[in-house]
Amino acid sequence: MVDQERAADVIARDLERRIITGELPDNSPLPAEKDLGQEYGASRTVIREVITALTNRGMLENRPRFRPVVKKPGFDAAFNTVGSIVQHLINAQEGVETLFQSRVFLERALVREAAIRAQSSDIRELRAALQANKEAIDSSEDFYKTDIEFHRVFYAIPGNPIFTSLHEAYTQWLAAHWVKMERSPERNARNYESHKAIFEAILDRDADAAESLLERHLEQAWEQVKGTFNV
């Protein structure tokens, strides 16, 4: 019998170990609450507390009326875990600006990497994302989605899962302010031209130009984001 005072922590730690080692396979349903309670000698209240804790850590996907599903932790789960803290930190302009500056720093390096090392498959993906961006100019909602996709390709080119997870995290963390930005086909067209110039610099293998154009593009984006704060 697990000591009830520490039951939830002990059980959560053991289930976490079983998920990480693969004893509980990724994408498999978690054993039923009743079975877990019998296995660990704990009440259903304790088991539900454990499930909530593991869901918050990104190790379970929990939907109403369904058994929780095991999610072996990856970089996405790691960033999701800190997401609520980040959201608290970026409620003020200073917090958003600090986060945005980190994105600028990273993307400057990523476009340099793209200009130097992008393979033909990467170029095709960038070209397709740019074309989709162009076709969406008249629809701000679609343009926003294709804008995200164009930048996502830079994070994917190095083949490092941390970068792709970071892109997803930036998108989620900054979305609340991005969707408030003033949008119009004219502004979309200007942003598209910035994307096109960055792409052409990468085609020319001009890392300095690609970095400079990216930095200018994101500086302009920040000027638009600032408008979402009443300052």
pLDDT digits (tens, 9 = 90+) for 96-144: 788 889 999 999 999 999 999 999 999 999 999 999 999 999 999 899 9
For the ranges 28-42, 48-62, 89-103, 156-170, the maximum mean pLDDT occurs at 28-42
> Residue 17 falls within a domain, yes or no?
yes
Task: Say if residue 67 is in the same domain as residue 112.
Answer: no
pLDDT of 187: 92
pLDDT of 30: 95
Cα→Cα distances 120→79, 149, 204, 219, Å: 31, 18, 13, 29
pLDDT > 70? residue 80: no
Task: Say if residue 106 is in the same domain as residue 217.
Answer: yes
Task: Say if residue 114 is in the same domain as residue 36.
Answer: no
> Mean pLDDT over residues 221-230, rounded?
73
Find the range with the poorest average confidence among 17-31, 189-203, 214-228: 214-228
Question: Quick count: other Cβ atoms within 10 Å of Cβ 22?
Answer: 11
pLDDT above 90 covers a percentage of the chain that reads 57
Confidence class of residue 193 from pLDDT cuts 50, 70 and 90? very high
For the chain, how many structural domains are there in total?
A: 2
pLDDT > 70? residue 88: no
> Residue 46 falls within a domain, yes or no?
yes
> Residue 132 falls within a domain, yes or no?
yes
Output the domain CATH number for residue 134.
1.20.120.530
d(CA 107, CA 89): 22
pLDDT above 70 covers a percentage of the chain that reads 86
Which of 73, 102, 118 marks a domain boundary?
Answer: 73
Q: Are 225 and 181 in contact (CB under 8 A)?
A: yes
Task: Say if residue 42 is in the same domain as residue 96.
Answer: no
Which of 73, 96, 115 marks a domain boundary?
Answer: 73
pLDDT of 48: 92
Find the range with the poorest average confidence among 34-43, 110-119, 161-170: 161-170
Task: Say if residue 69 is in the same domain as residue 89.
Answer: no
Q: Whole domain around residue 43: which residue ranges?
A: 7-73
Task: Say if residue 108 is in the same domain as residue 186.
Answer: yes
Bridge partners, 61 (sequence order): 69
pLDDT of 228: 66
d(CA 140, CA 158): 29
Give the helix ranges, DSSP H, for 118-206: 120-135, 140-156, 161-178, 185-203
Task: Say if residue 121 is in the same domain as residue 58.
Answer: no
> Residue 154 falls within a domain, yes or no?
yes
pLDDT of 4: 47
Which of 21, 50, 73 marks a domain boundary?
Answer: 73
Output the domain CATH number for residue 60.
1.10.10.10
> Mean pLDDT over residues 78-93, rounded?
61
pLDDT of 1: 44
d(CA 27, CA 20): 12
Phi-psi label, residue 22: left if phi above 0, alpha if psi -120 to 50, beta otherwise: left
What is the average pLDDT score of the chain? 87
Give the pTM.
0.66
Task: Say if residue 147 is in the same domain as residue 221.
Answer: yes
Burial status of residue 34 (CB atoms within 10 A of its CB: 0-12, 13-18, 19 or more): exposed
Tokens of 22: 């693969």
Cα→Cα distances 144→24, 46, 50, 103, 192, Å: 39, 44, 38, 17, 11
Q: Are 159 and 153 in contact (CB under 8 A)?
A: no
Task: Say if residue 54 is in the same domain as residue 108.
Answer: no
Question: Cβ contacts of residue 13 below 8 Å, gap of 6+?
Answer: none
